[in-house]
């Protein structure tokens, strides 16, 4: 769809994206998120290289239920004797792929619907919003169960349902923003100069939403990954693929708790946690960047911690009128001072 | 109400009995449709090179009126004639052409510039949209305008957030004149700025007007500023014209109680305690389904019984001065017999 | 001469931040007397709102740091009081009217309840008596149908009404000092006139001392008895209101007065002050106003002038004040 290309262009507009990455890097928590996500992506891509064994290869099975050791740092599964570490590494592929692919598709679909509803307005707006209302009412889990019964268990079905139902959140948020942007004075000025609706949509409205789209998408990816893990746990995913959720299901079914093989449960759990955490970290930091008011006042406390008392005295002394030396006044604030502060 | 003078001066903009009504969203389907009568029955003429003032407070309809002038809002009634042609009857292409002759300067310097654009992009945008100029030509033109409004070349690559309110307004002015419009609507251009910057921007606007032979419509609630720069003006309240005419004449002899209230409210710095002080009562009523009679009657300290029900027509009082007020135009003998000229009981 | 109600001596406030330190208020003295309305005039960024908040001791230590020699209300020293003790004073002896009623009022509480709260907090009144007082207070500030209006929420009232509610809140316990921070800036001109009228009559009737913070000289002309002009954190002039308007001594005061458009007879160009207010982190050397001043001399560029007392109870901070022989 050409509109998708436009959206793609807008999102990829050089300055915007690179500037964003740079800002994230500058933020200590953002840097952490970026590093983790990059690590995860690398692991997923390089899985065949990194994993000591190929868990899909039946011939590489070892003895069942081994405890962690040098050859099998996370042991082997009780049920099949697969190396858990390798499963963990390969499992990242499923989570990340589903999370990112679904997230990106949702970004396009949600933004498209939001912009149309907001900017075109009128009947299109009413139609889209009513569709959103309907979709929000339909319960997705039973639907997935029904569809997997009809179409067979696969990630395609899961992604399909996520995409069909998940665009509503972003659409609503984007629509609100578009309604605000539409009435900006600079849009009015452009209209007075004779700008077409297309020009305004692509030059003013879309770039104005790009930050929101990116931020929302990272948080959505995190959510999708958790949802996918849950569905795989329930056995609704592809039975042949290795995913963290499925590992958890196997661990539970295979009696990990019974036999005390806690590493089998911990590994996929940690994997899910790290993946979701890193995406959310990026999303939250982005929210702070775009909405400076949300910034935690930690940075201010840091400045205050490093404040030198003599520096402050110097500053206050310099405010005095020249003349006979006056006694130093007392501070008048009643809030508790940070450690090392004057009082 | 046109400017006086021997030479025929072109009537740039005319509005005849323009009304703009907005529907209010229905509380529930099939309930009675209510209307916001933002502008009701306003007529005016603006001549080339003139500065026309529109005075009023929030809710009086001045912004809607301005929007109707520049083709942003289609009037529900009446005609808008620009350069002799019915603006809203034009076909799209001609409409856009006509509109390029009009531009607007906005009140809030912080929301009138796209924060993601550079100054260069902002000023060049109207030229880019219209097309027909090369990059070099556009750049030259932008530089020319930058100088005119008092900014530097090195400001081109900056973003609006790097500038103060006054400087942003200058950028907005540069953007507004890049297409050489004939007609500029200034919607409270200095209200959002520091006092010491007001004068700078006003002087800039006056210089530009002289140099480029522009016509201004100046919207403000500050009568002192309007008096200083406008030749003709009208005073609006809740969508209707209360008083209109040559600004010198109106200021020398303000007749409508609302005009007097506005004047006394502009607490003059040269404290002239002999000026009549008119204090209103109550609050501005809602513009939804306004009353039949004079729309000002509820707050008017001189309201009479008839003011509530009988609309007041705009009558000429002297040359270049019209007022819509029963105090001035009086009641007919029949109306007086019905007791309509008795003072309304204050509430 | 009546006794002073508010005395501020040598107030200094700064905001450390990433790029340096913002010098918001640089050693100012203020005084108000009983029944007097004192105006603190200046443009945005001059430090006047920070001053108001400092007097109420509402500034928190991060992000601000402050020093003061003395802060006295009706003879009582406040600078060393704890937050707990201040809570007894705020609302009762000292009250503030904020600029924006929508953010100053609790949106989920009826206005009546908010005023009731003041009474119940600071006096021994019960629920019913507090409500009686509330209705009276609302009537005093000119709210029509006060009893039923007391049950409205802030968003149901117009801007002017909300501002009147703020005035009622401030005057509820008949404090000794009212600080009004741009109380009518966001209102329409005719509503502003009405609200200021109420404020003035309340202040005069109850002999309350008022500190009015504003940038609008016309408000000052009609409300104030004494004026302090503030520029970039410093007081540059103090005078009685008629003297300031007819005979300003500091070039900035003169510039401000000149730049207000007059309802005079002839059309004239607007008198402007060149350039803009200095950035609070990058102030000029010497007198802060000298880059914009038409009467600058060498000493203006090098040293900050002192606040000198001038005959008939005025103060000016200028090496070459107007209206006197200038140093050659």
Q: Which residues of A touch B96 (CB under 8 A)?
A: 194
User: Is A192 close to B175, i.e. CB distance below 8 A?
Assistant: no
Distance (Å, whole) CA A32 – CA B64: 51
The pLDDT, as a whole number, for residue A342 is: 36
Cα angle at C126 between C125 and C130, to 5 degrees? 65
Q: Which residues of A touch C233 (CB under 8 A)?
A: 319
CB proximity list for B82: less than 8 A, separation 6 or greater: B12, B13, B98, B101, B102, B183
Cα angle at B166 between B165 and B170, to 5 degrees? 115
Task: Count interface pairs B-C at CB distance under 8 A.
Answer: 118
| Dihedrals phi, psi of C43, to nearest 5 degrees | -90, 180
User: Is A332 close to C83, i.e. CB distance below 8 A?
Assistant: no
Strand residue runs (E) in chain A: none
User: Is A333 close to C65, i.e. CB distance below 8 A?
Assistant: yes
Tokens (6 digits) for A231: 């569905």
Distance (Å, whole) CA A163 – CA A156: 10
Instruction: Report, as an integer, the average pLDDT of A91-118.
Output: 90
Write the CA distances from C110 to B283, C87, C151, C154, integer angstroms: 20, 22, 5, 7
Cβ neighbours, 10 Å, residue B342 = 11
Cβ neighbours, 10 Å, residue B269 = 21
The pLDDT, as a whole number, for residue A331 is: 54
Task: Quickly tell me which residue has 């034009």 as its tokens.
Answer: B90
Instruction: Report, as an integer, the average pLDDT of C110-117.
Output: 92
Distance (Å, whole) CA A306 – CA A341: 9
Instruction: Report, as an integer, the average pLDDT of C87-111.
Output: 88
Of the candidates C82, C13, C317, the residue with the CA atom closest to the CA atom of residue A329: C13
Q: Checking phi first, is residue A17 left (phi over 0); if not, alpha (psi -120 to 50) or beta?
A: alpha
Instruction: Report, as an integer, the average pLDDT of A41-55.
Output: 84
Q: Which of residues 218-247 of B touch C (CB under 8 A)?
A: 221-225, 227-229
Q: Which residues of A touch B99 (CB under 8 A)?
A: 192, 194
Higher pLDDT, B267 or A38: A38
User: Is A208 close to B111, i.e. CB distance below 8 A?
Assistant: no
**B291 touching chain A per CB within 8 A:** no
Distance (Å, whole) CA C299 – CA C45: 25
User: Is C218 close to B267, i.e. CB distance below 8 A?
Assistant: yes
Give the DSSP letter of residue B156.
G
State the burial class of residue B89 (Cβ atoms within 10 Å of its Cβ: 0-12, 13-18, 19+): exposed
Strand, helix or coil at C235? strand
Q: Which residues of B touch A191 (CB under 8 A)?
A: 72
> Does B242 have pLDDT greater than 80?
yes
**A339 touching chain C per CB within 8 A:** no
Distance (Å, whole) CA C65 – CA C58: 12
Q: Which residues of B touch C221 (CB under 8 A)?
A: 267-269, 271
| Dihedrals phi, psi of B195, to nearest 5 degrees | -60, -40
Helices (H), chain C: 48-55, 83-89, 101-104, 111-122, 127-140, 146-149, 159-171, 189-205, 217-223, 241-246, 251-259, 298-302
Strand residue runs (E) in A130-215: none
Tokens (6 digits) for B277: 């002080």
Of A301, A304, A332, nearest to C66 by CB-CB distance is: A332
Q: Checking phi first, is residue B180 left (phi over 0); if not, alpha (psi -120 to 50) or beta?
A: left
Distance (Å, whole) CA B229 – CA B168: 22
The rounded percent of chain C whose pLDDT value lies above 70 is 96
User: Is A299 close to C18, i.e. CB distance below 8 A?
Assistant: yes
Quick: pLDDT tens for A77-103. Answer: 888 888 888 888 888 888 888 888 999
Tokens (6 digits) for B139: 């750049």
> Helices A155-182 and A206-233 sit at what angle, rounded to 10 degrees?
150
ipTM: 0.82
CB A190, CB A213: distance < 8 Å? no
Strand, helix or coil at B26? coil
User: Is B96 close to A194, i.e. CB distance below 8 A?
Assistant: yes
Q: Which of residues 200-259 of C touch A (CB under 8 A)?
A: 233
**C73 touching chain A per CB within 8 A:** no
CB proximity list for C173: less than 8 A, separation 6 or greater: C91, C92, C93, C95, C118, C119, C122, C123
Quick: pLDDT tens for B53-98. Answer: 999 888 788 889 999 999 888 999 999 999 888 989 988 888 888 8
Residue B158 distance to chain A (closest CA, Å): 14
Q: Is the peptide bond before B244 cis (omega within 30 degrees of 0)?
A: no
**B342 touching chain A per CB within 8 A:** no
Distance (Å, whole) CA C82 – CA A321: 30
Q: Which of residues 188-207 of C touch B (CB under 8 A)?
A: 188-194, 197
Count of helix runs (H) and strand runs (E) in chain B: 11, 12
**B249 touching chain C per CB within 8 A:** no
**A320 touching chain C per CB within 8 A:** yes
| Dihedrals phi, psi of A23, to nearest 5 degrees | -65, -40
Distance (Å, whole) CA C250 – CA C253: 5
The pLDDT, as a whole number, for residue A341 is: 34
CB C253, CB C289: distance < 8 Å? no
Q: Checking phi first, is residue B235 left (phi over 0); if not, alpha (psi -120 to 50) or beta?
A: beta
User: Is B266 close to C189, i.e. CB distance below 8 A?
Assistant: yes
User: Is B129 close to A188, i.e. CB distance below 8 A?
Assistant: no
Residue C164 distance to chain B (closest CA, Å): 12
Distance (Å, whole) CA C125 – CA C127: 7
Residue B299 distance to chain A (closest CA, Å): 33
Instruction: Report, as an integer, the average pLDDT of A52-68.
Output: 79
**Position B42 confidence tier, pLDDT thresholds 50, 70, 90:** very high
Q: Which residue of C has its CA nearest to B271?
A: C221
> Does C101 have pLDDT greater than 70?
yes
**B346 touching chain C per CB within 8 A:** no
Residue C277 distance to chain B (closest CA, Å): 9
The pLDDT, as a whole number, for residue B1 is: 42
CB C234, CB C29: distance < 8 Å? no
CB C131, CB C112: distance < 8 Å? yes
Cβ neighbours, 10 Å, residue B4 = 11
The pLDDT, as a whole number, for residue C1 is: 57
Complete edge-to-edge strand list for the sheet that includes strand B240-246: B102-105, B183-187, B215-220, B51-55, B232-237, B240-246, B321-323, B315-318
Distance (Å, whole) CA B299 – CA B321: 23
**Hey, which of A42-56, B230-244, B322-336, C177-191 has the most confident mean pLDDT?**
B230-244
> Does B295 have pLDDT greater than 70?
yes
**A184 touching chain B per CB within 8 A:** yes
Quick: pLDDT tens for C121-145. Answer: 888 888 899 999 999 889 888 888 8
Of A315, A328, A332, nearest to C14 by CB-CB distance is: A315
**Position B271 confidence tier, pLDDT thresholds 50, 70, 90:** low
**A140 touching chain B per CB within 8 A:** no
User: Is C272 close to B200, i.e. CB distance below 8 A?
Assistant: yes
**Hey, which of A120-124, B286-290, C208-212 has the most confident mean pLDDT?**
C208-212
> Does B212 have pLDDT greater than 60?
yes
Of the candidates A116, A150, A329, the residue with the CA atom closest to the CA atom of residue A236: A150
Cβ neighbours, 10 Å, residue A321 = 17
Q: Which residues of C touch A339 (CB under 8 A)?
A: none
Distance (Å, whole) CA A312 – CA C314: 32
Instruction: Report, as an integer, the average pLDDT of A124-150.
Output: 88
What subunits make at least 3 CB pairs under 8 angstroms with A? Answer: B, C
**A204 touching chain B per CB within 8 A:** yes
CB proximity list for A96: less than 8 A, separation 6 or greater: A40, A41, A44, A225, A275
Of A186, A188, A193, nearest to B100 by CB-CB distance is: A193
Quick: pLDDT tens for B100-143. Answer: 889 999 988 888 999 888 999 999 999 999 888 899 999 999 99
Cβ neighbours, 10 Å, residue B135 = 9
User: Is C69 close to A312, i.e. CB distance below 8 A?
Assistant: no
Q: Which of residues 84-103 of B touch A (CB under 8 A)?
A: 96-97, 99-100, 102-103
Instruction: Report, as an integer, the average pLDDT of C1-11.
Output: 86
User: Is C263 close to B221, i.e. CB distance below 8 A?
Assistant: no
Strand residue runs (E) in B156-289: 183-187, 215-220, 232-237, 240-246
Residue B59 distance to chain A (closest CA, Å): 18
| Dihedrals phi, psi of B110, to nearest 5 degrees | -90, -25
Q: Which residue of C has its CA nearest to A311?
A: C21
**C53 touching chain A per CB within 8 A:** no
CB A240, CB A55: distance < 8 Å? no
**C21 touching chain A per CB within 8 A:** yes
**Position A107 confidence tier, pLDDT thresholds 50, 70, 90:** very high
**Position A13 confidence tier, pLDDT thresholds 50, 70, 90:** very low
Distance (Å, whole) CA C127 – CA B45: 61
Of the candidates B181, B168, B215, the residue with the CA atom closest to the CA atom of residue B98: B181
User: Is C27 close to A321, i.e. CB distance below 8 A?
Assistant: yes
The rounded percent of chain B whose pLDDT value lies above 90 is 33
Mean pLDDT of chain A: 80
Of B72, B108, B130, nearest to A193 by CB-CB distance is: B130
- The predicted model scores a pTM of 0.81
The pLDDT, as a whole number, for residue A325 is: 42
Distance (Å, whole) CA A188 – CA A198: 14
Residues in chain B: 347
């Amino acid at each position: 769809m050409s509109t998708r290309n436009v959206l793609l262009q807008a999102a990829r507009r050089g300055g915007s994206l690179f500037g964003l990455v740079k800002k994230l890097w500058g933020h200590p928590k953002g840097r952490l998120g970026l590093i983790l996500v990059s690590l995860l992506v690398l692991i997923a891509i390089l899985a065949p290289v990194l994993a000591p064994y190929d868990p899909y290869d039946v011939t590489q099975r070892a003895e069942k239920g081994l405890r962690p050791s040098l050859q099998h740092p996370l042991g082997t599964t009780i049920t099949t004797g697969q190396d858990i570490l390798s499963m963990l590494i390969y499992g990242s592929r499923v989570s990340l792929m589903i999370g990112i692919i679904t997230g990106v598709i949702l970004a396009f679909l949600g933004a498209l619907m939001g912009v149309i509803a907001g900017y075109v307005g009128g009947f299109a707006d009413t139609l889209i919003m009513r569709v959103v209302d309907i979709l929000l009412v339909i319960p997705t889990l039973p639907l997935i169960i029904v569809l997997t019964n009809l179409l067979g268990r696969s990630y395609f079905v899961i992604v399909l349902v996520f995409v069909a139902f998940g665009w509503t959140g972003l659409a609503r948020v984007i629509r609100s923003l578009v309604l605000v942007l539409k009435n900006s004075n600079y849009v009015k000025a452009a209209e007075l100069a004779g700008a077409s609706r297309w020009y305004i949509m692509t030059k003013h409205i879309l770039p104005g939403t790009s930050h929101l789209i990116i931020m929302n998408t990272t948080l959505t990816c995190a959510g999708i990954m958790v949802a996918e893990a849950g569905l795989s746990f329930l056995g609704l995913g592809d039975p042949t693929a290795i995913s963290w959720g499925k590992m958890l299901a196997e661990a539970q079914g295979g009696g990990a708790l019974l036999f005390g093989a806690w590493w089998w449960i911990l590994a996929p759990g940690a994997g899910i946690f790290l993946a979701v955490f890193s995406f959310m970290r990026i999303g939250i930091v982005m929210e702070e960047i775009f909405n400076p008011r949300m910034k935690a006042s930690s940075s201010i406390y840091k400045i205050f911690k490093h404040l030198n008392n003599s520096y402050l005295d110097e500053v206050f002394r310099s405010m005095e009128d020249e003349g006979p030396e006056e006694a130093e006044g007392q501070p008048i604030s009643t809030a508790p001072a940070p450690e090392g502060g004057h009082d | 109400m046109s400017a006086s003078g021997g030479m025929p001066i072109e009537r740039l903009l005319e509005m005849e009995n323009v009304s703009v009504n907005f529907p209010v969203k229905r509380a529930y389907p099939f309930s009675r449709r209510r209307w916001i009568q933002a502008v009701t029955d306003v007529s005016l003429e603006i001549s080339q090179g003139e500065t026309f003032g529109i005075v009023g407070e929030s809710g009086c309809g001045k912004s809607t009126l301005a929007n109707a002038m520049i083709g942003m809002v289609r009037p529900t009634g009446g005609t808008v004639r620009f350069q002799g042609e019915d603006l809203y009857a034009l076909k799209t292409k001609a409409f856009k052409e006509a509109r390029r002759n009009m531009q607007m300067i906005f009140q809030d310097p912080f929301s009138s510039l796209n924060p993601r654009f550079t100054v260069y992009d902002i000023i060049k945008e109207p030229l880019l949209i219209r097309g027909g100029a090369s990059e070099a030509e556009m750049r030259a033109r932008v530089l020319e305008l930058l100088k005119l409004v008092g900014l530097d070349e090195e400001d081109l690559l900056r973003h609006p957030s790097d500038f103060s309110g006054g400087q942003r307004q200058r950028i907005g002015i540069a953007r507004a004149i890049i297409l050489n419009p004939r007609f500029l609507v200034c919607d409270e251009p200095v209200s959002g700025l520091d006092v010491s910057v007001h004068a700078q921007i006003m002087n800039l606007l006056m210089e530009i007007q002289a140099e480029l032979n522009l016509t201004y419509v100046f919207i403000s609630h500050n009568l002192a500023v309007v008096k200083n720069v406008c030749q003709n003006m009208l005073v609006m309240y809740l969508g209707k014209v209360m008083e209109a005419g040559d600004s010198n004449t109106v200021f020398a002899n303000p007749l409508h109680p609302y005009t007097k209230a506005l004047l006394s409210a502009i607490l003059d710095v040269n404290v002239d305690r002999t000026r009549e002080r008119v204090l209103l009562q109550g609050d501005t009523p809602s513009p939804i389904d306004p009353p039949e009679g004079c729309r000002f009657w509820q707050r008017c300290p001189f309201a009479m019984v008839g003011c509530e029900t009988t609309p007041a027509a705009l009558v000429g009082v002297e040359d270049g001065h019209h007022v819509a007020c029963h105090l001035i135009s009086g009641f007919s003998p029949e109306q007086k017999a019905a007791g309509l000229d008795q003072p309304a009981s204050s509430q | 001469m009546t006794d002073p109600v508010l005395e501020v001596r040598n107030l200094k406030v700064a905001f450390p931040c990433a790029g340096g330190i913002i010098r918001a208020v640089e050693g100012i003295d203020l005084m108000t007397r009983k029944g007097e309305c004192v105006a603190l005039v200046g443009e945005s960024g001059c430090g006047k709102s920070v001053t108001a908040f400092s007097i109420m001791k509402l500034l928190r230590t991060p992000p601000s740091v402050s020093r003061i020699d003395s802060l006295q209300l009706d003879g009582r020293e406040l600078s060393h009081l704890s937050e707990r003790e201040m809570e007894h004073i705020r609302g009762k002896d000292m009250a503030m009217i904020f600029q924006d009623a929508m953010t100053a009022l609790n949106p989920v509480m009826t206005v009546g309840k908010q005023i009731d709260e003041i009474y119940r907090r600071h006096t021994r009144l019960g629920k019913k008596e507090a409500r009686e007082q509330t209705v009276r207070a609302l009537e005093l500030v000119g709210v029509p149908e006060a009893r039923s209006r007391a049950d409205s929420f802030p968003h149901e009232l117009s801007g002017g009404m909300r501002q009147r509610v703020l005035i009622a809140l401030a005057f509820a316990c008949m404090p000794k000092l009212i600080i009004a921070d741009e109380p009518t800036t966001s209102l329409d001109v005719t509503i502003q006139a009405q609200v200021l009228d109420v404020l003035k009559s309340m202040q005069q009737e109850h002999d309350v001392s008022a500190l009015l913070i504003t940038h609008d000289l016309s408000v000052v002309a009609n409300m104030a008895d004494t004026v302090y002009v503030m520029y970039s954190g410093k007081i540059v002039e103090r005078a009685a209101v008629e003297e300031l308007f007819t005979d300003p001594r500091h070039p900035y005061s003169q510039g401000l007065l000149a730049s207000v458009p007059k309802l005079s007879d002839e059309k004239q160009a607007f008198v402007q002050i060149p350039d803009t207010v200095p950035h609070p982190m990058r102030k000029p050397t010497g007198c802060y106003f000298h880059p914009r001043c038409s009467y600058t001399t060498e000493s203006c560029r090098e040293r900050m002038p002192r606040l000198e007392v001038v005959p008939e109870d005025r103060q000016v901070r200028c090496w070459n004040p107007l209206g006197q022989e200038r140093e050659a």
